[in-house]
Amino acid sequence: MPIASVIIPAAGLGRRFAAEAGASGAEAAPTKVFAMLGGRPILARTVGRFLPIANVGEVVVAAPPGRADEAREACGVAGADAARLVVVEGGPERPESVARALEASDASTELVAIHDAVRPLIRGALIEEAFRTAVEHGAAVVGRPVDHTIKRIEGGTRVAQTVPRADLWLAQTPQVFRREIILQAYARRDQLVGYITDDAQLVEALGHPVVMVRGDAANFKVTTPEDLRLCEALLAAGWPFET
């Protein structure tokens, strides 16, 4: 199996998270990736899902601007693993953070995986399945078939249409690419900014095939303090139930 660089954009401020944590009367809300999850920062939890995987060559974290040292410390990675953790300063927007991390990554790795800092419950076996799929097809996206009814809304909350859902999937991360493909996609990103919501979309725009890998419901994005409590409950229950 080829070696992967794992990019974790973690420069976002988590404004919604902070607003809701503040509104609920909590202490001064931290930047979301530094919020504690079962005694460790979310970022440390997420980084810690990747480092034990043998064919992860390095994890490159894009930290909030001016806070690279703090991010490295928050990760709490010591010993031999410390050499596999690279921390760079991210930019004001996610694509800029990913671009800087790409630039800082080891150019000799064949795969690049990009994973949201705030999906701390990703399973190791799923990461490896995404790696294998990217090797085979060039680009792999972890996600879930849509099993909800989806409504299109007008004017805030009024339903305009029920969207046909057969063949719709929700994209999660990791999104894994052969290095030359994601480099080519990011080289063109300025032409596409504004409507892009995930990295795979840049690759789709190039016309490269992208293949879905079925993920877990528990691989959700921590957006609110309530989501964080959900994560804590899952960790307390022993998720991800793998050795």
Task: Tell me: does residue 105 bind its own copies (CB under 8 A).
Answer: no
Euclidean distance between CA atoms 175 and 169, whole angstroms? 14
Instruction: For its own copies, give the closer residue by CB, 57 or 225.
Output: 225
R_g (Cα) of the chain, nearest Å: 18
Q: Is the dihedral of CA 217, 170, 222, 141 positive or negative?
A: positive
Task: Tell me: does residue 158 bind its own copies (CB under 8 A).
Answer: yes
Q: Burial-class residue 119 by CB neighbours within 10 Å (0-12, 13-18, 19+).
A: buried
**Closest distance between its own copies and the C-beta of residue 241, in Å?**
8
Task: Tell me: does residue 27 bind its own copies (CB under 8 A).
Answer: no
In the structure encoding, which two tokens stand for residue 172, read together?
């999660």
Task: Bin 168: left if φ > 0, else alpha if -120 < ψ < 50, else beta.
Answer: beta
**Residue selected from 154, 190, 207, 243 as contacting its own copies according to rule CB under 8 A:** 154
Task: Tell me: does residue 220 bind its own copies (CB under 8 A).
Answer: yes
Task: Tell me: does residue 229 bind its own copies (CB under 8 A).
Answer: yes
Question: Which H or E run contains 62?
Answer: strand 56-63
Binding mask 122-151 for its own copies (x = CB under 8 A): -------------------x-x--xxxxxx
Can you give the binding site for its own copies, defined by CB under 8 A?
A: 141, 143, 146-154, 157-165, 167-172, 195, 197-198, 200-201, 204, 209-213, 216-218, 220-221, 223-224, 226-227, 229-230, 232-234, 236-237, 239, 241
